A = this chain, B = another copy of it.
């Protein structure tokens, strides 16, 4: 009888731990290009709309997606400052990885998206925050680039490390590096 009740308890615990838990999606956003930021945020918001528990881990150039438009030149070091000057980032300042033509291609693509009712990166980020999608900036690459939280948009979660991203991906139904 004790084994039966143990088994029942195990089944019940399993049911309790699994039933209310949403399936997880984890996206690693490592690029600051417009043509990567779009799929990151479209997959994230669509996943959340489909009931998934979504986390996006922004690392390296991907941190550029989260920079405030008014952040200006960032970093303490001349090398960080130079990089921030040439790779400005910010949700509405992203450029295509190809076909950019000094910014004209990116402008064309953003205008086309607007005409076709495709949400902008800025709109998708606001939507993502509103939907409760967790946006994690990577602590190590923030340090590398000399970025601090005050230079990044509101609504982000605490900076995290690769270990946290890995722990989450181990439990996720969908994990993508974009």
Residues of A within 8 A of B (CB): 3-4, 7-8, 23, 25, 28, 30, 35-36, 38-39, 42-43, 46-47, 49-50, 52, 59-61, 77, 79-80, 82-83, 86-87, 97-99, 101, 105, 108-109, 111-113, 115-116, 118, 140, 143-144, 161-163, 165-167, 169-170, 173-178
Given contacts A7-B7, A28-B176, 4 further A-B contacts (CB under 8 A): A3-B4, A39-B59, A39-B60, A46-B161
Report chain B residues within 8 Å CB of A30: 35-36, 39, 178
Report chain B residues within 8 Å CB of A60: 35, 38-39
A50 contacts which of B83, B109, B113, B167 (Cβ < 8 Å)?
B167
Beta-carbon nearest neighbor of A97 in chain B: B98
A79 touches B42 (CB 8 A): no
Interface SS of chain A: helix
Report chain B residues within 8 Å CB of A28: 39, 176
Beta-carbon nearest neighbor of A83 in chain B: B99
A87 contacts which of B83, B98, B169 (Cβ < 8 Å)?
B98
A112 touches B77 (CB 8 A): yes
B79 touches A99 (CB 8 A): no
Report chain B residues within 8 Å CB of A4: 3
Report chain B residues within 8 Å CB of A38: 60
Report chain B residues within 8 Å CB of A105: 83
